[in-house]
Amino acid sequence: MEQTKIKKVLVTGGIGYIGSHTVIELIEADYEVIIIDNLVNSSLVCLERVKAIVSKPENITFEEVDLRDATRLSQVFHEYLPDAVIHFAALKAVGESVAKPLDYYENNVGGTINLLKSMNLYKCNMIVFSSSACVYGDNPYASETDRLAPINPYGMTKVMCEQIIQDYSNTNKNFAAVILRYFNPIGAHSSGMIGEDPKDIPNNLMPYLQKVASGQLPHLNVFGKDYDTVDGTGVRDYIHVVDLAQGHIVALDKQEQLQGYHVFNLGTGNGTSVLQLATAFEKAFETEMKKVMCDRRPGDAPKSTACADKVFNELGWKAKLDIDDMCRDSANWTKKNPNGFHAQP
Ligand code: NAD
Ligand code: WQD
């Protein structure tokens, strides 16, 4: 790679849940950030809060751009000439991806192709891409070299984007591509000013717990009670969103050794069951929640955890925060913002 220190980072989807936490870490690590987002699943209130949290808000620029708009995207590259891209922007609801597969392929895969074309045109030679544990399908302890077997269109978009990025990186010897396969991000910034705020009724466990604890949903449906796990409920590798965000900074900082194509799991390696997470969240929120034991959710794996050895051995990254930290910060965000980024009704 032509070695110029990365300074300007374009962050797609940078006011979404993981993107906003990463922008904070980028600014504190002295990067300049250009965010692009089409606001399909985010709010400008989040951007205002991020600017209020960081030490140098003047280093954040926001452009409302849809990745599917190749002309507009290329104008942004022309104007800012970023040194690297962190690519979060995607649609991410598994059920919706089954109902609207074309929208998911168009947005996630089409958006990634547009992005790579602009990067190629403007000689931007590093991408960090948000992939997901769901590329592994049903795999209780996944390593990066394991077989990819997604079971829904959302997961397939991630596999396709990984492949496209790999093929593109093979054509450009100066290119560095880092694929980060996130396990289950939860938690929030310690300020309680930003956190996860899904627009509809949540599908994922932590945002659902947040809604039950704040009285907006009556009870937690526990999907599956007879798995071969510690207490019969599904086990996942939850990771604090701030640990995850810091993983991206480590990748940018190590650009010298990351020329070529690299894949890393970002997880803790530890499994937590649905009931264990619910109990930890109840403690953090100082409440008790009604739980209704239900049938298994179709397509769910009994257990999904990461082998996180590679990212530690090669990049020196390791998650620092535990389940109680995650629940404390999710509870703090929810107590302070029961309606997320929306004003109280
Ligand atoms: P999010 O929905 O909060 O953030 C995604 C952001 O991208 C949103 O702000 C949305 O408005 C924007 N966006 C979507 N399509 C766009 C487009 N065409 N043009 C411009 N902006 C667009 O999601 P998140 O949880 O922050 O996830 C970030 C990334 O991490 C996604 O790629 C997601 O697939 C991946 N991921 C998330 C999880 C998770 O559980 N949250 C797990 C694994 C991987
Ligand atoms: C965790 C556990 C559920 C909700 C999904 C996507 C994956 C990734 C993360 C982006 C499971 C149980 C859940 C509820 C419950 N996203 N559960 N009651 O299924 O690991 O992964 O989100 O890439 O692609 O598939 O996460 O939070 O939905 O579920 O009992 O109301 O909680 O059955 O065991 P999952 P999740």
pLDDT tens digits along 243-260: 999 999 999 999 878 899
pLDDT of residue 343: 72
Class of domain 205-236+270-313+322-336: alpha beta
Q: What is the domain partition of the chain in residue ranges?
A: 8-187+238-269, 205-236+270-313+322-336
Q: Which residues line ligand 2 (CB under 6 A)?
A: 92, 94, 132, 134, 184, 203-205, 208, 221-224, 234, 236, 274, 297, 300, 304
Residue 185 · residue 236 · CB < 8 Å: no
Dist. CA 274 → ligand 2 center (Å): 9
User: Cα angle vertex 161, ends 155, 165, to 5°?
Assistant: 150
Please state the rounded mean pLDDT for residues 41-56: 97
Measured from the CA of 155, which atom of ligand 2 is nearest? 24
Taking the CA of 67 as reference, the closest ligand is 1
Catalytically annotated residue among 104, 136, 154, 168: 154
Please state the rounded mean pLDDT for residues 64-76: 98
Q: Which superfamily does CATH assign the domain made up of 8-187+238-269 to?
A: NAD(P)-binding Rossmann-like Domain (3.40.50.720)
Of all protein residues, whose CA lies closest to atom 32 belonging to ligand 2? Answer: 205
Q: CB-based contacts of 195: which residues, under 8 Å, 6+ apart?
A: 17, 187, 188, 189, 329, 330, 333, 334, 337, 340
Dist. CA 290 → ligand 1 center (Å): 30
**43 CB near ligand 1 (under 6 Å):** no
Per-residue b/e over 108-118, b at no fewer than 16 CB within 10 Å?
Answer: bbebbbbbbeb
pLDDT of residue 33: 98
Taking the CA of 180 as reference, the closest ligand is 1
Q: What is the DSSP letter of 105?
A: I
pLDDT at 261 over 70: yes
ipTM of model = 0.99
Of all protein residues, whose CA lies closest to atom 18 belonging to ligand 2? Answer: 222
**107 CB near ligand 1 (under 6 Å):** yes
Dist. CA 12 → ligand 1 center (Å): 9
Q: What is the dihedral of CA 151, 157, 159, 160, to 10 degrees?
A: 130
| Closest to 37 in 3D by CA, of 19, 12, 71 | 12
Residue 157 · residue 104 · CB < 8 Å: yes
Q: How confident is the model at residue 4 (pLDDT cuts 50, 70, 90)?
A: low
Task: Judge if 8-187+238-269 and 205-236+270-313+322-336 fold alike in CATH terms.
Answer: no
Cβ atoms within 10 A of the Cβ of 35, count? 28
154 is catalytic: yes
Residue 140 · residue 301 · CB < 8 Å: yes
**239 CB near ligand 1 (under 6 Å):** no
> Residues 173-229: pLDDT tens digits?
999 999 999 999 999 999 999 999 977 889 999 999 999 999 999 999 999 999 999
Share the mean pLDDT of the chain. 96
Q: How confident is the model at residue 6 (pLDDT cuts 50, 70, 90)?
A: confident
pLDDT of residue 1: 47
Hey, which of 17, 45, 71 would you mutate to test ligand 1's pocket, going by the most ligand atoms within 8 Å of its Cβ? 17
**132 CB near ligand 1 (under 6 Å):** yes
Taking the CA of 18 as reference, the closest ligand is 1
Dist. CA 120 → ligand 1 center (Å): 23
C-alpha to C-alpha distances, 341 to 39, 42, 60, 171, 203, nearest whole angstrom: 13, 9, 20, 42, 18
| Closest to 13 in 3D by CA, of 80, 62, 75 | 62
Q: CB-based contacts of 112: which residues, under 8 Å, 6+ apart?
A: 67, 87, 129, 161, 164, 165
